[in-house]
Amino acid sequence: MTEVMGYATKTAAVLAMREQGKRISDIAKILGISENAASGLESCAKRARNRSAKKVSATGSTVADLIPLSARQRLRPHAARREISTDRLIANLVIAIADGNLVDAVLDDGVK
């Protein structure tokens, strides 16, 4: 298998660039494939991920289940500016909140 821009596969490259907020048309140009091919790779990966998540959710919720898509979409530009995935940004945020003992300040829900 040949690496694509540092990713193991074209699918991995498409998913990483989508997480960075890039448009399918831009990704297709970067990878030298059609927009339909790029979109197909993304769709196939999402279906596989959904099947996998359903298996995992039988035993408990996954982080993807717990974070609404709308929240993830609002985080995309912040992740893109840092050139990291949305999932990595979420992990970094949780780590920073825990390390800074900021849970009460962030949630501001009155629990002490």
Q: Where do the structural domains in the chain lie, given as residue ranges? A: 1-60, 67-112
Whole-number Cα distances in Å, 19 to 39, 55, 59, 67, 101: 14, 23, 27, 15, 28
Q: pLDDT tens across 27-79, in order?
A: 999 999 999 999 998 888 877 776 665 554 555 666 667 888 888 888 989 98
What is d(CA 77, CA 35) in angstroms, rounded to the nearest whole number? 22
In contact, 19 and 76? CB cutoff 8 Å: yes
Predicted model pTM: 0.47
In contact, 41 and 14? CB cutoff 8 Å: yes
